[in-house]
Structure 1
Amino acid sequence: MLTEDRQTWGHASSTGQGFTHHTIVDAHFTACETPYLDLLDQAGIRPGAHVLDAGCGPGDFLPHIAAGIGPHGRITAVDLAPDNAALAARRARAWRLPCPVDVHQADLRDLPHPDDSFDVAWCANTTQYLNDDELAAVLAELTRVVRPGGIVAVKDLDAHLITARPGDPYLFTDFFRTAAETPGYARQLLRSGDLYRHLRRAGLTRVRQQTVLIEHHAPLSPAVRDFYTKACADLATQALGLGLSADWHHYLNPDPPGHPLDDPDGYIREGNVLAVGTVPPPLKTHENKPA
């Protein structure tokens, strides 16, 4: 689950995949916590459920899943990066969550769990690291380990909707379109709007999808400014390396003064997609009856 361009995006965990180190994952969660949790609430997770947090990262969603399922529920959390899984396990113990939580390292393409183990699979900010074949393999595994009638919920960033002001409204769009001309992370960040199609291809039923804008207006909170100025600096480095607009120079240095997001009219947004499907019952086989 490693794109060939993984080194260029920075903030890598032990897997080498960019934007998976716990510091950047935590910062993004803090900057977008309210809309993230709104989407979690709309996934359909009920009290008492056994939930698989598939691609849990450093565990930011764990307290909120635990609060929703209560003391009669259970959480199993897995992440590909051993360092993220270990951190999530330590945090879960320190938080003293109201339900049992088991965290371990695992590859979502080959989960070490029996069929029909879970009521819900929650997979947040993870499919962006998968090419199309890997995404199909992961959805097949999530469908396998969730019981019939259970839910597979996938949330991820949609880079089509990223923009910032003041400045060229198409600056970020042009970068992602150019970067996505070759297979890799940028192309996968542009695929989220089609997640519903991938869930249907995986055999899930009653598939629904919604997209929300996460918008931040000046003056930005310290947490929002910290995340987005650093993320923009990484994009600016890549964009200038691709020979794109000189306007990217304004984003290279996250420190004030003069950063576009510190302008009185500063604004940045991203899109997030939530796609949810239901695991169908197994197909019935009909034995031939003697005449």
Structure 2
Amino acid sequence: MLTQAPAASLAEASAKDHRTWGFTASTGLGFTHHTIVDAHFRACAEPYQELLERAGIQRGWRVLDAGCGPGEFLPWLAELVGPEGRVSAVDLAEENAALAAARVAAWRSPCPVDVRQGDLLRLPYPDDSFDAVWCANTVQYLDDGQLGRALAELRRVVRPGGVVAVKELDAHLITARPADPYLFADFFRAAGQVPGYARQLTRSRELYRWLRAAGLAEVRQQTMVIEHYAPLSGSAREFYGLSCARLAEQAGRLGLSGEWRRFLDPDGPDHPLDDPDGYISEGNVLAVGTVPGPSRRE
């Protein structure tokens, strides 16, 4: 007879899982500390901005950045909506929300911007508060049940006719050279055998069906490959060197290819990313849906 594991045991397993990825914020979630989030953003800023511009956010809109981290997208969102618009932001980690608010205070925004701490599963806003929600690199931290609840919340706070846009990393498209072309695919296949962060990082290209299941209409989705060639920029070398080292540690515990040893030391003399033909890529998925009902603006 199968029995469900106690909630406490599941929580402990989740916490242990995220500790293996490192760079945790106060929430205990891996890769949420502002230093690694900032490094990733700097490495991918140009394609990130392109994806944001494809979300359909319009001038004069009220927009929520759901899961804003330390606030990297806020200046771009403010520019998109302009002086007649308004941007709100929320993040689960109190220190990230505080850092985002401090950064907002330090630059001259073209529109009002407010930041608060909050949970995507219980957004602190009334129904129909926004014309659009932008949610980037955040749903990777939610299990399937939580993802459904979060999307329901995003839909709730957006007016009929408004937009819900979710951008997420797709780990299926991570690969590096010179290295075995299946090195990263084998890692995520092995690590994703059990529920957890690795499996959630490979769920991104299913977002279109999750948005449909949440009741959104006119759902569209596209996937972008972000590529970095040698010589990598300083930001790209910093982020991917650190990230690959964390994966290499886990790959060793899983008994995977010894080729991972070359990625263990971010500053190692024979690191693949420092090769004259060094290369690394990742995928990013943008899924966009419209809240059904007659379009209206207050």
Which amino acid letter does the alignment assign opposite residue 210 of structure 1? Q
5+ long unaligned stretches in structure 2? 1-9
Which amino acid letter does the alignment assign opposite residue 149 of structure 1? G
Give yes or no for contact 2:262–2:268 (8 Å, CA) kept in 1.
no
- Equivalent residue number for residue 101 of structure 1: 113
Give yes or no for contact 1:52–1:76 (8 Å, CA) kept in 2.
yes
Question: SS of the counterpart of 2:171?
Answer: strand
Question: SS of the counterpart of 1:143?
Answer: helix
C-alpha deviation, 1:253, in angstroms: 0.5
Which amino acid letter does the alignment assign opposite residue 262 of structure 2? H
After superposition, the C-alpha distances for 1:224-273 in whole angstroms (9 at most, x for unaligned) are 10110010001000110111110000000011421000101100000000
1:35 maps to which of 27, 36, 47: 47
CA distance in 1 between partners of 2:179 and 2:54 (Å): 34
After superposition, the C-alpha distances for 1:93-133 in whole angstroms (9 at most, x for unaligned) are 10121110110000010111111000000000001000011
2:73 maps to which of 51, 55, 61: 61
Q: 2:153 aligned with 1:153, yes or no?
A: no
Identity rate, percent: 68
The alignment's TM-score, normalised by the length of structure 2, stands at 0.93
CA distance in 2 between partners of 1:216 and 1:64 (Å): 23
1:214 maps to which of 214, 226, 239: 226
* Root mean square deviation of aligned Cα: 1.1
Matches within 5 A, 1:189-204: 189-204=201-216
Which amino acid letter does the alignment assign opposite residue 112 of structure 2? P
5+ long unaligned stretches in structure 1? 283-291
Q: 2:187 aligned with 1:175, yes or no?
A: yes
CA distance in 2 between partners of 1:74 and 1:169 (Å): 45
Matches within 5 A, 1:106-125: 106-125=118-137
Give yes or no for contact 2:174–2:283 (8 Å, CA) kept in 1.
yes
- Equivalent residue number for residue 98 of structure 2: 86
- Equivalent residue number for residue 270 of structure 1: 282
Which amino acid letter does the alignment assign opposite residue 70 of structure 2? P
Give yes or no for contact 2:90–2:97 (8 Å, CA) kept in 1.
yes
The alignment's TM-score, normalised by the length of structure 1, stands at 0.95
- Equivalent residue number for residue 196 of structure 2: 184
- Equivalent residue number for residue 237 of structure 1: 249
After superposition, the C-alpha distances for 1:11-69 in whole angstroms (9 at most, x for unaligned) are 00010100000000000000000000000000000011100000000000000111111
C-alpha deviation, 1:281, in angstroms: 1.3
Moved >6 Å (runs of 4+): none
